[in-house]
A and B are shown apart, each in its own frame.
Chain A
């Protein structure tokens, strides 16, 4: 979005925790229409806690400078103190707050009314498809909806999986922000457990600070008794102490929660990595796709199939893949991280491959059917 059309916000009269939380939210990808004001010169909007004492001159100043206020409050009977004030009730709901910011943004940057377009100028209806009736496409939907500014929940859901890391230029940018040290996270131990169990053909216990998970080799499932919130914490935060792996006998009883192990590992890796890559992943060397993930059983997100399709046909780097498909790099990084963890793909040079045959690059067939294919896809996934 053009910087000139971003609303500059000042957080005023808030307690420290609320201020920090709102600053985090405004700086995140969730808040697309506003940023924190860097100076006092160009302020568009104040977020003000009306339940705390505040300088009432602020209201007059806001009116004088044609700025806006979002007043947060507990009182259900509260009325706005100015025509330029929008009220948002506590406890703050991200969706409500975003709506309020978007409303102010619209008032600030709404283009002047244009004459009613005639038939020739009427924009064509987007052929964007809806996938909400496809249960396996939940995540796909979420990310498909990432840019729909009126649906904060879906945008948030998308961010949970692919993160919000901006594209990098491998030759210029500091790459630390796109890397994750896998050894510090639970998914690394989980992948090791799966690998060890398959190698030794035995059940493996994964002992963590929040409880023990068991990989049941014969059934290829994970069982555990860990609460949902704790499990989420385990997946997404660095471990203080490394998880330890123990071999268990084949009669180990299953715990309450039983999940397909491949699915669990796939989800965990995506949720941990959030669009980042294993430390040291080369961005410029080609991706070698070893096998297609079993996408009918795994959670897929937007662009996962086209990205894999590209890798299935040609040797191309992560950065080039994003460029070719014209998509944010984080989608490519997210998919690659999960595929690499489960040994579906790796980075390598042609020389790393074993037979000369493997070096043959089969170009993508020339297609004149793109429009037809788009129509078929839209048809298959349209909402009933």
Chain B
């Protein structure tokens, strides 16, 4: 059965988008990685230049597409295309990056229209590696009004953590989901 349901994973380079998709995808993740050439090469050897793709395949064969946006800001023209028709956004921020707070602000602002129409859950990764900020520091960046954005410390390799992000995303869209 064909479907156009998709969940978007976004965030800066090295935040763990590809890893997070891989951890819950039912198919091998399609990666469009290339050798890093710009400032990215200081962060990692290869990086996503177009998008990552994975999928959750439900029992009735419905596919939930998992799209990872490229992390570099110069690819931001891709973001709007990718989010079109998306269920919601999972935003990953590398907690070991000293620029993490600014990254959070930047991505929330970049996806503002999409978030307003849908919902967002933020996952701070690598907090156990080299934590630069506490969770409260990230929470303080957010608007104090409604909706209150969920922010969790996550391990992108953990299916449990990424699944919890998806679960939270879906409940913020419809708290009355029956399971």
- With an 8 A cutoff between CB atoms, is A372 at the interface? yes
- A54 contact set on B, CB distance < 8 A: none
In the assembled complex, A291 has its CB within 8 A of some CB on chain B: yes
Q: Does A95 contact B (CB under 8 A)?
A: no
Q: How far, in angstroms, from A360 to B150 measured CA to CA in the complex? A: 18
Contact check, A376 vs B166: say whether CB atoms are below 8 A apart.
yes
Q: Which residues of B contact A377 (CB under 8 A)?
A: 167, 170, 177, 179
How close is A157's CB to chain B, nearest CB, in angstroms? 20
CB distance from A130 to the nearest CB of B (A): 10
Closest residue on chain A to residue B88 by CB atoms: A365
Would A136 and B179 count as touching, CB distance under 8 A?
Answer: no
Determine if B173 is an interface residue (Cβ-Cβ < 8 Å).
yes
User: Which of B64, B87, B145, B177 has the most C-beta atoms of chain A within 10 angstroms of its own C-beta?
Assistant: B177
- A314:B170 contact, CB within 8 angstroms: no
Contact yes or no, A357 B145, CB < 8 A: yes
Residues from 351 to 384 in A contacting B, C-beta threshold 8 Å:
353-355, 357-362, 364-365, 367, 369-370, 372-381
B5 contacts chain A at the CB level, 8 A cutoff? yes
Give chain A residues whose Cβ lies under 8 Å from the Cβ of B174. Answer: 364, 367, 369-370, 373
Determine, out of A5-13, A164-172, A293-301, the stretch whose residues face the partner at the interface: A293-301
Q: Which of A20-28, A115-123, A277-285, A302-310 contacts B (4 or more CB under 8 A)?
A: A302-310
Give chain A interface residues in 160-180, CB to chain B under 8 Å: none
Let me know if A313 is at the binding interface, CB within 8 A.
yes
Q: Does A312 contact B (CB under 8 A)?
A: yes
Would you call A135 an interface residue if the criterion is a C-beta within 8 Å of the partner chain's C-beta atoms? yes
Assess whether B163 is interfacial by the CB under 8 Å rule.
yes
Task: Please give the number of chain A residues whose Cβ is less than 8 angstroms from any Cβ of chain B in the complex.
Answer: 52
Query: Which residues on A sit within 8 Å (CB–CB) of B59?
Result: 375, 378-379
Task: Determine whether the beta carbon of A296 is less than 8 Å from that of B153.
Answer: yes
Q: Are B175 and A365 touching (Cβ within 8 A)?
A: no
B165 vs chain A, min Cβ distance (A): 8
Quick one: which of B124-179 are within 8 Å of A by CB?
Answer: 135-136, 139, 143-154, 160-161, 163-164, 166-168, 170-179
* 8 Å CB contact of B148 from A312, A353, A367, A375: A312
Contact check, B164 vs A295: say whether CB atoms are below 8 A apart: yes
Write the nearest CB–CB distance from A264 to chain B, whole angstroms: 17
Chain A residues with CB under 8 A of B135: 294
Residues of B within 8 A of A296 (CB): 152-154, 160-161, 164
Q: Are B152 and A295 in contact (CB under 8 A)?
A: yes
Q: Once the chains are docked, how many angstroms separate the CA of A19 from the CA of B160? A: 45
Which residues of chain A come closer than 8 Å to B146, judged between CB atoms? 312-315, 358, 360-362
Q: Is the CB of A374 within 8 A of B153?
A: no
Known: A135-B160, A297-B153, A379-B56; 16 extra A-B contacts, CB below 8 A, are A291-B148, A294-B135, A295-B150, A295-B152, A306-B171, A308-B171, A309-B171, A309-B172, A313-B172, A314-B146, A354-B144, A357-B143, A362-B147, A367-B174, A372-B5, A380-B24
Q: List 16 A-B contacts (CB under 8 A).
A: A135-B160, A292-B149, A294-B152, A297-B153, A306-B177, A308-B150, A310-B175, A311-B148, A354-B144, A362-B146, A362-B147, A364-B174, A365-B117, A379-B59, A380-B167, A381-B163
Report which B residues bind A (CB closer than 8 A): 5, 24, 56, 58-60, 62, 64, 87, 117-119, 135-136, 139, 143-154, 160-161, 163-164, 166-168, 170-179
Interface residues in chain A, defined as those with a beta carbon under 8 Å from any beta carbon in chain B: 127-129, 134-136, 289-292, 294-297, 305-315, 324-326, 353-355, 357-362, 364-365, 367, 369-370, 372-381
